């Protein structure tokens, strides 16, 4: 069964900013397209197998489950609503960034 995937607008902005950084600041537009493709593939995978992703470090600080697949040196942070069969992508960060549980929703 497929889950509906909802990517928060703030996460879309974070992804766009990261892709823009790769394409424009690092002058690697082909690599930027590859990274964006890998991110899209990861979203497609969590649509089918969200529970296969490992737990995020933030999982210890919230009453709901938080998972994070690693893709292209970055992490997609998401939650799963089993009743609604919905995955909410609530964060995106580079692997070198520290987790910030203060940026996550309370529920």
Read off the pTM: 0.85
CB environment 43-63: b (16+ within 10 A), e (fewer): beebeeebeebeebebbeeee
Listed by start position, the domains of the chain span: 4-103
pLDDT of residue 101: 47
| pLDDT above 70 coverage of the chain, percent | 88
> What is the per-residue pLDDT across 52-92, written as a single tens digit (0 to 9) for each?
999 988 888 888 889 999 998 999 999 999 999 999 999 99
**Domain 4-103 CATH (choose: 3.40.50.10490, 3.20.80.10, 1.10.10.10, 3.30.2310.20):** 3.30.2310.20
């Amino acid at each position: 069964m497929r889950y509906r995937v909802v990517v928060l607008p703030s996460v879309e902005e974070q992804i766009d900013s990261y892709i823009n950084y790769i394409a424009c600041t690092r002058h690697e537009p082909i690599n930027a397209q590859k990274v964006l493709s890998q991110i899209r593939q990861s979203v497609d995978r969590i649509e089918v197998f969200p529970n296969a992703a490992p737990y995020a470090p933030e999982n210890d600080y919230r009453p709901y489950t938080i998972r994070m697949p690693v893709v292209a040196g970055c992490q997609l942070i998401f939650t799963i609503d089993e009743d609604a069969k919905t995955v909410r992508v609530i964060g995106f960060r580079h692997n070198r960034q520290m987790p910030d549980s203060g940026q996550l929703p309370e529920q």
